[in-house]
Structure 1
Amino acid sequence: MTEANFKLVEEVELLRLVTVGSVDDGKSTLIGRLLVDTKGAFEDQLLAVRKQKGLDSIATAADIDLAMLTDGLSAEREQGITIDVAYRYFATPKRKFIMADCPGHEQYTRNMVTGASTASAAIILIDARSGVMPQTKRHTHILGLLGIPHLIVAVNKMDLVDFDQAVFEQIRAEMNEYCAKQGVKDLICIPISALDGDMVAVRGNNLDWYEGKTLLETLESLPTLGDVDRLPFRLPVQLVNRPQTTELPDYRGFMGTIASGTIRVGDEIIAVPSGNTSTVKEIVTFDGNLQEAFAPQSVTLTLNDNIDISRGDMITRVGEKTGDSKDLTANVCWIGDEPLSARKKYIIKHTTNSVKAMVSSVDFKTDIHTLDHLDADELAMNEIGRITFKLQKPLHYDSYADNRATGSFILIDTFTNNTVGAGMIV
C-alpha cells in the first residue's frame, strides 16, 4: 500500500458491524469473501489456507475454503461452527470496517450480545434453503433491543435455490413483517451467494432481477453513527488522579472515557450524585491539552473548584441531568446458567459504577416468534424479558433509547461473579 493510499484509509469513516445468523448460514464464508475481495486477507493467511487444502500457491480465491480465513479456534474448525466473537478488519477507499463475527448457535447467544453491543449496523445472514429460523428471530429481536440503527438481511446460498427470486421475496416479506412489529425502521434485504461472490462485492451474472446495491456498496453508503456527539455530555469517572508531587501538590484530575456529547474548557459541569458544580479548567489527554473533547475520547478533566467526585460518579453539563432512581425497569437478555427469578440479588455494573440490586418483579418475557409478552416468573438462559429491580442506592442513567452508553448495564451473579445478563433501561 502506498503512503498516499495509507493516508486515505486513515482519513475515511469507520463503520462498526456485526454479523449474525443460524448455524451453517455461511457467515464465515461471507466474511472470508469480503476479506478476499477487499484485499483484507494477508497473503500468508491465503497461503496457509491453500496448504491446508493441499492446493498450490497460485490457487485462486474460488478454490480455497473461505471460512478457514475466519474460524480461528481449533474447536471452530473441528466442529465447523463459530464459537467465539472474532473481530475482522478491512477497508475500501470509501470506508474502514470493524466486523464482529458472532456465533450462530443458540448456546452462544451470550457471545452474540457482546459482539453486537457496540455496532452501528448488522448483517443478518439467512440460508435461502431454510428461510427464517427461530434463531434468526432471536438474533433480530436482540439487535432491535440493542438499538442497532441499520439491519441488513443477506439471503445467502441463492446459488443452491437456482437464484429463484420467489424464494428471496418470501424471506424478505417475512422479515419485513417481523421487524415492523418491533419498530425497526431501516431494513435492507439483499440476495447473495457468498461462495461464488454474487452481490457481495460485485454484482455477478446471476441476480439481474435484483436492482439494489451490492452488500459492499450498501455498507459503504450507510450513514455512520454521528449522533453520539449531539447527545448530553456524560463522563463516567473511572479514576481520580492525585499524584501529590511537589510540582502538583493539589492536582485533582477526573479520568474516564466520554460516553456521549462534547465538553469545552470553561463549560459549567455538575457532578452526580453530589450535585456539586464547577467549571472545566483543563482537558488533558495523552497527546496534550485540548480546548474541546468528544465521545469516545479518553480524557482527564481538571476543575476550577475543589469538589467531591469519586470513581463511579458521573460528570455532566449543567442542565443535562441524568435520571435518578432506586427503582429500575429494563429489557434483559438472560445469559446465565441459573434462571433469573423474583427476589434474587445481583450486582448491576453500569458504566464505572456498581450497585447491588434485587429483582422486584419479572414483568413479562417475550415470545421471539410473535413478539407477544408472556406472563413469567423467571427468565431461563437465552430468554428475553422486562425486569424491574430495586436498587440499594440510586443509579444515574439515561434510557437506552436516548443513550446506548449510559442506558445499558450488565448483571453480575453475587456468588460466582459471572456475568449473567445484559440490560437496556426503559
Structure 2
Amino acid sequence: MSTSSQPPLAGARKRWQRLLPYAAVIALTALFVPVTIASLKDQYGLDGGTAGALAVAQAAPLLMLARRPLWAWWIIFPADIAGALVLLGLPAEKYDVWPWTPTALIAHLFVLLALALREGRRTLVLVWLATGAAGLVLHLVSPERSNGSALLLFLIGAVVLVIGAALRERGVAQRRLVEQETISAEERARRTLLEERTRIARELHDVVAHHMSVITVQADSAPYRLKGLPPEAGEEFEAIAASARESLAEMRRLLVVLRSDGTEGERAPQPGLGRVQQLVEATVRAGLPAELSMPAGLTGIPPAVDLSAYRIVQEALANVVRHAPGAGTRVSVRSDGAHLTVLVVNGPAQPSGSLPGPRAPVETSGTGHGLVGMRERVRLTGGTLDVGPLPDGGFRVAARLPLPPSSPPRNGNPEDS
C-alpha cells in the first residue's frame, strides 16, 4: 500500500519542478526500451520479436514510477524472471550476465529507488526479500549459468532502498516540522488574541467601573447632599444606585470569565427569568410604560434557556428605551412544556413633548449587536427568533426556545407578575 498518492516534488512552487519526475521517467523509458532490445538481440542472440516483447515488459512500466511505482514493480519483476527463463534456453556466451541482464538490473534499481521514496518499510522489506528469493531460486536452477548478478542486485538493492527510505523519512520529517511551525504560529496568534481581549476587558472595566462607581456614590449620597428632595426623587436615586451596582457586578463577572477562560466565572450565579420582573420595573422607572405577563411558578427551566430568555428580554427592553422612548411595551413569557416562548412587543415612539421630563434623544442608527446577540443565543439553544417592525410603527421580538422532555417546566397559577 502506497504511503503517498502524490509524486515527488508535487508540492513544489514552480511548475517546472513539479514536472521533473514525469520528465525523468519518460527519459528513462526512452533510454531503456531500445537499449534493452539491442542488448537482448546483440549480446544474447534473441530474435527481434522476443527481444522487443521482453524489452517492453521490462522497461515500458518505468513510465509509472512517478505515480505508481509499486504497480510498475509488479510488472517489471515478473518480466525480469521471464527474461531469465527465456535466456536459460539459449547457449551461454562467455560474457553473458545471468539471471539478471545488465539493463534489467539497472532498471530494477531505479524501480527500487522509486519505491523507497514512496512506500513504507514493510513494503520495501517484502520487495527486497522477493527479489533476493527470486535470484536465489534462479541460481539454484542453473548454478553453472549464474555469475553473480542475483547477489549483486540483492546487495545493491538493499543500499538503494536504505538511501531512498532515508530521503523519504527526511522529507516527511521536514513536512511535519513545517506543519508544527504553522500550528505553533496559529496558537501564538490565538494566545495573542486572548491576551488582547483580556487587556481590553480590563481597560474597559477600569474606565467604565470608575464612572459607574461615581454614579453609585452620587446616587446614594444625593438624599443627604440635596435638602428637600421629595420621596419620589429619593426612590429614583436609590433605583439608579441599585442599577449601577448591578451593572458593576455583571461587568466584574465578565472580566473574570475573560481572565480565567470561564472556569471561575461559571461559579457566579447567572441571572434568569426570576429577575425579569426587576428588568420591567427598571424600564418603568426609566419612563417606559411596560407590563409583564409571566406565570408565577415557572420552574424547571434549563440554565442555558433560562439565561438566554433573560438576556433576550434585557436586550429587547434596552432597545425600546434607546430607540422608542415612551412606547408602551408588553413582555410575555409562556411555556407549553416543550417550548419556552418569549415575546416583547412595543408600540411606536411617543413625541418628545408628550414625555414627562427631559429624555435622551432617540437613536437613529445602531450597531446591530443586540439583534446579533439574540440570534446567537437562540441558535445555541436550538430555538427560533422572529424580529421585525409592526404596521403601527412598533417592533416585535419573539423567541421560541426548546425545553428538554426529561425536565418539563411546571407552571404555577397563571398569575401575571
Q: Give the structure-2-normalised TM-score.
A: 0.16
Greater share of residues in helix: 2
Q: Give the structure-1-normalised TM-score.
A: 0.16
Greater share of residues in strand: 1
With CA pairs under 8 Å and 6+ residues apart, which has the higher RCO, 1 or 2?
Answer: 1
Bigger Rg, structure 1 or 2 = 2
